[in-house]
Amino acid sequence: MTFTIPTQILSYSGAQAMLAAAVAEATAMKVPQCISIVDAGGHLLAFARMDGAFAMSMQTSLMKAKTAASYGEPTGNILAGVDLKLAIATQGERINLPGGLPIIIDGRVVGAIGIGSGTGEQDRQVAAAALRVVPGAKQFD
């Protein structure tokens, strides 16, 4: 029996590089965003609310990141009905809006990114741009 497993963690500098890529993509799209990057446990590593981003999206971007880290799957894919029950059961800690992507390297979740303030498709596009700067990360384009 094995009592430990090898693991990797997302570094602060890695989170900052992702944040810069997300801001660049959102700026190019002319869609100001709230951007949250968390570690595998859902703890915030980096955040930005771009000028003009909807302030309430600060919370949804974080919940998208936490959900993606928790499930190791992009947000927006939970079955209808189950998503509402899950949101209620977790007091809003789990959210099914598009725009959250896990950061998976070598089959292990090392963190996640959540984007909010645009449409679901715009949020996901910005998250995917940030994920592209992470060497070896699984892509969800």
The CATH number of residue 73's host domain is 3.30.450.150
CA 60 to chain centre: 10
Predicted pLDDT at 111 = 98
Residue 75's Cβ-side half-sphere holds a number of Cα atoms within 13 Å equal to 34
Mention every residue, 6+ apart, whose C-beta is less than 8 A from residue 70: 42, 94
In a domain, residue 2? The reply is no
97, pLDDT greater than 90: yes
In a domain, residue 64? The reply is yes
100, pLDDT greater than 80: yes
Write out the two tokens for 63: 């919940």
In a domain, residue 114? The reply is yes
What average pLDDT score do residues 95-104 get?
Answer: 96
Q: What is the mean pLDDT of the chain?
A: 95
- Tally of structural domains, the chain: 1
In a domain, residue 7? The reply is no
Q: Tell me the whole-structure pTM to 2 decimals.
A: 0.94
The larger pLDDT score, comparing residue 101 to residue 83, is at 101
In a domain, residue 16? The reply is yes
In a domain, residue 58? The reply is yes
Where in the sequence is the domain holding 120, given as residue range(s)? Answer: 12-131
Predicted pLDDT at 66 = 96
Write out the two tokens for 141: 């384009």
The larger pLDDT score, comparing residue 99 to residue 7, is at 99
In a domain, residue 30? The reply is yes
In a domain, residue 3? The reply is no
Predicted confidence band of residue 79 (pLDDT cuts 50, 70, 90): confident
Query: What are the tens digits of pLDDT across the range 1-57?
Result: 999 988 899 999 999 999 999 999 999 999 999 999 999 999 999 999 999 999 999
Predicted pLDDT at 94 = 87
